[in-house]
Amino acid sequence: MNPLGTGDPLRLGPYRLTGVLGAGGMGQVYLGRDVRGQLAAVKVLRSEIAHEPEMARRFLREAQAAQAVRSDGVARVLAAQMVGGRPWIATEFLAGPTLDQAVERYGPLDEPTARAVGAALVRTLMDIHGAGLVHRDLKPSNIVLTSRGPRIIDFGIARPEYGLTLTTTGESLATPGYAAPEQVLGQRTGPAGDVFSLGVVLAYAAGGRPLYEGGHVAAVQYQVVHGEPELDAVPPAIRTLVVPCLDKEPGKRPALDAIARELAPPRAADRAWRTGPLAEDIARREADARRMATLPGDEAPGPSRRRLIGGLAAGGAVLAAGGGAGAWWLLDHDDSQAETRPWAAKPLAHHQEGSAPTPLWGPVDTGLSDPDDEITPLPVHDLVVVAATGRRLRAYGVRDGGKRWTSAVAGLTGRPLVLFDDTVLIADTHGAVRALSAEDGKERWAAAPADAATLLAVDDKAVFLATRGGRLRAVSLATRSTLWTVPSPVRLRGGRPAAGAAAKGRLVVHGSDGQAVALDTRSGRTAWGPRRHGTTAVAPAVDGDTVYLGGKALTALTLATGERKWTHTATGDLGWGAPALHDGVVYAVDDTDLHARRADTGAAEWTVTVGPEVHPLDPPVAEGRSVWAVVDSTGRRGVVAADTREGRIAWPYSQGSDGAWRLAGADNRVFLLQVGQLTAMPVL
């Protein structure tokens, strides 16, 4: 979620708009709050299509369809009006993960929970059909798990029972892999179409993977119409339930009341969203929603609404959009907000010019003296994780540096990754991918054999790794199975092993040969590249729809296509180090200088000299109003902190010993690790 921008309305009807949640195919979606503090997702038809009568009719039809359903299982429509020729719809703001988010984070649902979810969906579909409508876009991302149970959202392409799938010739609004065969073919779609979608959804919930998959939309749709579903991952009891729903002939699919009798969830089957990790997730999101509902305006004292909305810009809201026609927004838990991270440090109010402040704590001896075994400190929740003796992980509290746990799992290779702010992913010497609880370091699950040499990146669906055989592989977070394996277009091992980043359907890998390539995260197919950007691996950085690369030039590329946005050639022989992004600014070191450049245009903000020509290629660390950079490769000269507001060196910091420095930042702290000594420093 982002703050309101130029041209965004400030108020619609009774709702004061507080932020931009995003956009669907037809409308811009805002977070609104009325005078009672009630939150709403307010969707406004895009101005560029508001003049088209058919678009306006379809938009208002969405509100009318949702208003016609009287059910506790749907998101309620709160208001729908026309303002200045542009219609808007206000819907209930639901706090909870979507079904696909829950499965990706916590794995497939057990049989009782799957039956409970199915029973709730059947009741709601019966209410929808009882109102004379067919939802036509039932899928995991349109099902929200709340403390009151599953809720179906998005009536953007709902129609009366006699409605057609196609709006104009060749324009299909069906979601690939979930829409029934008759809907894919543009034929009349009745309640049996929702039954087909229900079967696919239940199979996904219980099995953890889609039934119909393919490299592109046409391949998926072909499988739905002509192929057979992949049911191996679905437990037998649930498989028996869903197979009749998947019949290609609508008339042969069971009625909803018959499905309800077959589901028959056991007593207390709904405990999954009442107790346990999923329930805790829902509770956190609901607490965030209550905080947002009670925040004062910008003009009032107390916690700033603008600050909270800015914190959510990092990913606090998740879109569940249906078929490109509707957009319904949910509050997603995001602990990066200062108000919800009580362990966050306070920035320095004052500091002596040129003199390093006293550390918040440390140096703490981690017991690891071999620099080859060290990893960059990994902040996760209220801990910072480092390597320990025996290639184990050890966690320290960010407030006091006190030791919290040492993992029982040994044989760490490469760098660990953070998953969902409560899990640490590692690869071990046996090639397995293991997930450890950030709370206590205990193993949650393992994906073996994965043949992992090192982990490259993770998104909300998969962890991406380099295999010991020099290939690239994606492993599902939901099923722990291999999604795809492809030959690597770039070299993965060398003086500096390959580094990667994953976002928005792209895995970007910068190889040890200096070449960069982007792969489609769903299939492993090369999306663009490889292209040479230097002579060795330099970690990429992704922000929004842009990837930033160091090397022979500091370059900004469109993430999806690799199209160049801007570039600045290095002046030093070593080239640009890895970039770091913070508040719309790119920070990177070239030759002797630390540069700050605007992320959107590449225009220079400021440049300061930090040290000798030989500098490490690791990224600087931007935290608070300071950016930290290592001075030299030997480590003896230490690090420097620069004031990002004025573009000047605020202070140097050194421990007076040789050894590589590894830096990380979070919650107004910068963690410094050198030769096994871990220190937490304050920031401006």
pLDDT digits (tens, 9 = 90+) for 80-110: 776 666 778 888 888 888 999 889 888 899 9
Residues near 419 by beta carbon (within 8 Å), at least 6 away in sequence: 425, 435, 458, 463, 477
pLDDT interval class at 562 (50, 70, 90) = very high
The amino acid at residue 258 is A
Reported as a single tens digit per residue, the pLDDT across 117-163 is 999 999 999 999 988 888 888 999 889 998 888 999 876 665 555 44
Locus of tokens 């956190």: 284
Distances (CA, A) of 258 to 115, 287, 650: 14, 38, 71
Query: Which DSSP letter does residue 576 get?
Result: B
Say if CB 632 and CB 591 are below 8 A apart: no
Residue 150 CA to residue 160 CA, distance in Å, equals 23
Beta strand pairing call for 94-95 and 326-331: parallel
Residue 162 CA to residue 109 CA, distance in Å, equals 34
DSSP 529-553: EEEE-SSS----EEETTEEEE-BSE
Q: Tokens standing for 264?
A: 């028959």
Neighbouring C-beta atoms of residue 167, cutoff 10 Å: 15
Reported as a single tens digit per residue, the pLDDT across 524-539 is 999 999 999 988 899 9
Rounded to 10 deg, the angle between the 111-130 and 191-207 helix axes is 160
Residues near 179 by beta carbon (within 8 Å), at least 6 away in sequence: 136, 137, 165, 193, 196, 197, 224
Across the beta sheet with 326-331, the strand order is 94-95, 326-331, 317-322
Say if CB 608 and CB 647 are below 8 A apart: yes
Q: Tokens standing for 676?
A: 């096994």
pLDDT interval class at 385 (50, 70, 90) = very high
Give the torsion through C-alpha atoms of 493, 495, 498, 499, to 10 deg: 160
pLDDT-above-90 percentage for the chain:
40
Would you say how long the chain is, in residues? 684
Query: Which DSSP letter does residue 69 get?
Result: -
> Comparing 521 with 337, which gets the higher pLDDT?
521
Say if CB 464 and CB 458 are below 8 A apart: yes
The residues that bridge with 94 in the sheet, in sequence order, are: 330
Give the torsion through C-alpha atoms of 538, 541, 546, 551, to 10 deg: -20
Helix (H, G, I), strand (E, B) or coil at 368: coil
Q: Tokens standing for 191?
A: 């309640």
Domain 95-273, second-level architecture? Orthogonal Bundle (1.10)
In this prediction, residues 445-467 reach a mean pLDDT of: 89
Residue 124 CA to residue 158 CA, distance in Å, equals 14
Average pLDDT score over the chain: 82
The residues that bridge with 519 in the sheet, in sequence order, are: 507, 526
Closest CA to 34 of 92, 121, 83, 106: 92
Say if CB 642 and CB 594 are below 8 A apart: yes
Q: Tokens standing for 225?
A: 């119409």
pLDDT of residue 331: 39
Residues near 652 by beta carbon (within 8 Å), at least 6 away in sequence: 354, 356, 631, 637, 638, 639, 640, 641
Closest CA to 438 of 391, 405, 392, 475: 405
> Comparing 643 with 219, which gets the higher pLDDT?
643
Locus of tokens 């599953």: 150
Residue 388 CA to residue 380 CA, distance in Å, equals 17
Closest CA to 102 of 318, 295, 324: 318
The amino acid at residue 288 is D
Which residues are annotated as catalytic?
A: 137
End-to-end distance of the chain based on CA atoms, in angstroms? 26
11-20, 390-399, 659-668: the lowest-pLDDT one: 11-20
The amino acid at residue 664 is A
Model-level pTM? 0.60
pLDDT of residue 448: 80
> Comparing 517 with 132, which gets the higher pLDDT?
517
Residues near 200 by beta carbon (within 8 Å), at least 6 away in sequence: 139, 177, 178, 210, 211, 212, 229, 242, 245, 246
Residue 409 CA to residue 424 CA, distance in Å, equals 12
pLDDT of residue 1: 55
pLDDT of residue 520: 94
Q: Tokens standing for 353?
A: 């010019």
> Comparing 37 with 417, which gets the higher pLDDT?
417
* Phi then psi dihedrals of residue 236, to 5 deg: -55, -40
Binding-site residues, please?
43
Distances (CA, A) of 153 to 244, 328, 560: 25, 7, 29
Distances (CA, A) of 426 to 81, 420, 540, 598: 51, 14, 20, 34
On the question of pLDDT at 199 being above 70, the answer is: yes
In this prediction, residues 457-477 reach a mean pLDDT of: 91
pLDDT of residue 298: 39
Binding-site residues for ATP, please?
43
The amino acid at residue 669 is R
Reported as a single tens digit per residue, the pLDDT across 237-250 is 999 999 999 999 99
Q: Tokens standing for 554?
A: 């500091």
Closest CA to 318 of 101, 502, 109: 101
On the question of pLDDT at 167 being above 80, the answer is: no
319, containing H or E segment: strand 317-322
Across the beta sheet with 11-12, the strand order is 11-12, 15-23, 27-33, 39-45, 86-92, 77-83
Helix (H, G, I), strand (E, B) or coil at 62: helix
pLDDT of residue 243: 95
- Most confident by average pLDDT, 41-55, 194-208, 368-382, 569-583: 194-208
pLDDT of residue 372: 66
Residues near 418 by beta carbon (within 8 Å), at least 6 away in sequence: 378, 379, 380, 424, 425, 438, 458
Reported as a single tens digit per residue, the pLDDT across 668-681 is 999 999 888 999 99
In this prediction, residues 403-413 reach a mean pLDDT of: 85
On the question of pLDDT at 256 being above 90, the answer is: yes
Say if CB 521 and CB 507 are below 8 A apart: yes
> Comparing 404 with 166, which gets the higher pLDDT?
404
Query: Which DSSP letter does residue 297 get?
Result: P
Residue 63 CA to residue 326 CA, distance in Å, equals 10
pLDDT of residue 493: 85
Locus of tokens 């809720």: 151
pLDDT of residue 8: 79
Neighbouring C-beta atoms of residue 269, cutoff 10 Å: 19
Residue 365 CA to residue 515 CA, distance in Å, equals 38
On the question of pLDDT at 445 being above 80, the answer is: yes
> Comparing 121 with 78, which gets the higher pLDDT?
121
